[in-house]
Amino acid sequence: MDFERIQMRLDKLLAENRKGELRGALSMLNEVDIAEYMGGLDNEKMLVVFRLLPKDIAADVFAYMDTDQRQRVIEAMDDNEAMRLVDDMFIDDAVDFLEELPAGVVKRMLKGCDEKKRALINQFLRYPENSAGSIMTIEYMELRIGTTVGEAMTEIRREGVDKETIYTLYVLDPQRKLLGTVPLRKLLLAKDDTLVDQLMNTQFVCVHTTDDQEVVADTVRKYDLISIPVVDHEERMIGIITIDDIVDVIEEENTEDFEKMAAMIPSEDEYLKTGVFRLAGNRFIWLLILMVSAIFTGMIITHYEDLLKNSAATFGVVLTACIPMLMGAGGNCGAQASTLTIRGLALGEIATRDIYKLLWKEARVGSIVGFALSLLNFGLYRILYRQPVSVAATISAALFLTVLLAKALGCALPLAAKSVRLDPALMASPLITTIVDACSLLILFTIATNVLSL
């Protein structure tokens, strides 16, 4: 689909005020594409287009808008219009939207909202931020134990249009405790007089309302679910979380991890919509920590100043010149190991109890990589720079030990962070590199002191 041509067609209809044709053209588009098109319009035109949309489509389009678009639409509406819009949205989408608004605006909008929906939204707003309860929806199909397949299908036809998903149905007892789940496919293939009790899966997976959204996302990924039930601490069914919300959580959590791995405080807003002072503040703290840490590297060089002077007098500046190579190689090796470890922890492939397995594996990998790099390095300093065997061996040995240490630190530090309930992403490339830099200098100067007798 050539979306640019579609946009040009919609722009032409809008400019010529051909509202009937514009409404028809918009109705043929996906809600995501309509929201994207409206993002490029000014406030006046966006509101014109939004008011042309059929009522059921408008609520879906609004759910796909970004925060700025929603704010612009709401500011252009009166309270009654805004309340009707919230009434037409699924509960989870309405809660997501209201969480972004000031408390006063939320209170004013909910005042005229449907009483039952207002009570539900208020209940959702009380759940901890980023918890399962805050992202779930109550629009799911429930069945009572003892229901036949024929009765279940009749119920789906009557109630399913208002549900967010009907692909999985949930069987409850009179106390609303979840007994099992039934895929729609099983109902379609079963006879009408079959009881849903005979079809339901009693080995279901569920989460609790206070579980962190990252735990929920990991559970859905692990069991390949398209929705997951949410229960309270008395195991009563409260709602479900659907795959579209899980995808949003995964994207949000991955972005947060990337920012932490780059030594930044995560930002909740998009990059282009975040102020420069906020961005600077998010980066400054970690940059300050890393700068202070790097001072120790300078202190090590200062401490071994006499060694470097003696080395320069005897062998030239080769010992000083190899420092950037040594620090760079160590930092890169540490970053490789930490990246794989952090990703393995995020995917659940690695646990803190696996630390000895990881250390043994990285020791072998480091030995192979370190030996190859050291061998090449030895030849480089002997042939190209014409250095004595003792100098080439000193630098190569320091490189080998630095690679081994960097690999060990790269896998051990994220696991250590995980064991004390810190985010493993904090132990990523910038911090690992700073630590390895200092260690590589200590290794080099220790070997040089003993081997070269400086």
Q: Identify the residue with better confidence: 82 or 291.
A: 291
Contact criterion met (CB below 8 Å) for 17 and 5: no
- Please report how many Cα atoms fall inside a 13 Å half-sphere around the Cα of residue 227, on the Cβ side: 24
- How far apart CA 401 and CA 440 sit, in angstroms, is 8
Give me the pLDDT at residue 339, please: 86
Domain at 271-451: CATH architecture: Orthogonal Bundle (1.10)
The pLDDT assigned to 103 comes to 63
The answer to whether 251 and 46 are in contact (CB under 8 A) is: no
Spatial separation of the C-alpha atoms in residues 81 and 247, rounded to whole Å: 30
**Distance separating alpha carbons of residues 410 and 337, to the nearest angstrom:** 5
Scanning 177-275, the segments in alpha helix (DSSP H) are 184-189, 196-199, 213-223, 243-261
Residue with more model confidence, 49 or 216: 216
Span 69-73, average pLDDT: 78
Q: What is the pLDDT of residues 286-299, one digit of tens each?
A: 778 778 878 888 88
When pLDDT is averaged across residues 351-366 and rounded to a whole number, the result is 92
User: What DSSP element (H or E) covers 204?
Assistant: none
**Contact between residue 186 and residue 195 where contact means Cβ atoms under 8 Å apart:** no
- The pLDDT-based confidence of 104 (bands split at 50, 70, 90) is low
- Please report, rounded to a whole number, the percentage of residues in the chain having pLDDT higher than 90: 31
The structural domains of the chain, with segments of one domain joined by +, span: 3-130, 142-242, 271-451
Mean pLDDT of 107-117: 66
**Mean pLDDT along residues 392-403:** 94
Residues of 38-57 as b/e, b for ≥16 C-beta within 10 angstroms?
Answer: beebeeeebbebbebbeeeb
Q: Name the pLDDT band for 180 (thresholds 50, 70, 90).
A: very high
Asked if 3-130 and 142-242 have one fold, the answer is no
Buried b (16+ CB within 10 A) or exposed e, 109-137: bbeebeeebbebbeebbebeeebbbbbbb
pLDDT(10) > 80: yes
Please give the pLDDT value at position 148.
Answer: 94
Q: How confident is the model at residue 113 (pLDDT cuts 50, 70, 90)?
A: low
Q: Which CATH superfamily is domain 142-242 in?
A: CBS-domain (3.10.580.10)
| pLDDT at 393 (0 to 100) | 93
Would you state the CATH architecture of domain 3-130? Alpha Horseshoe (1.25)
Cα separation, 314 vs 440, in Å, equals 22
Phi, psi of 57 (to 5 degrees): -75, -35
Angle between helices 43-52 and 19-27 (to 10 degrees): 70
93 burial level (CB within 10 Å; 0-12, 13-18, 19+) = buried
The more confident residue out of 240 and 126 is 240
When pLDDT is averaged across residues 437-441 and rounded to a whole number, the result is 91
Instruction: Kindly report the pTM of this predicted structure.
Output: 0.65
**Which residues are within 8 A (CB) of 153 and not within 5 positions of it... i.e. 6 or more apart?**
187, 192
Lowest mean pLDDT: which of 40-49, 102-111, 324-333, 341-350?
Answer: 102-111
pLDDT digits (tens, 9 = 90+) for 402-420: 999 999 999 999 998 888 8
Mind listing the pLDDT tens digit for each residue in 264-278? 777 777 777 778 888
pLDDT > 70? residue 107: no
* 378: pLDDT strictly greater than 90: yes
Task: Considering only residues 122 and 448, tell me which one the structure prediction assigns the higher pLDDT.
Answer: 448
Inter-residue contact 222 to 116 (CB < 8 Å): no
List pLDDT tens digits, range 138-162.
889 999 998 999 999 999 999 988 8
How does residue 49 score in pLDDT terms, banded at 50, 70 and 90? Answer: confident
Average predicted confidence (pLDDT) for the chain: 85
What number is the average pLDDT over the span 308-320?
Answer: 78
Cα–Cα distance for residue pair 181/203, rounded to 1 Å: 9
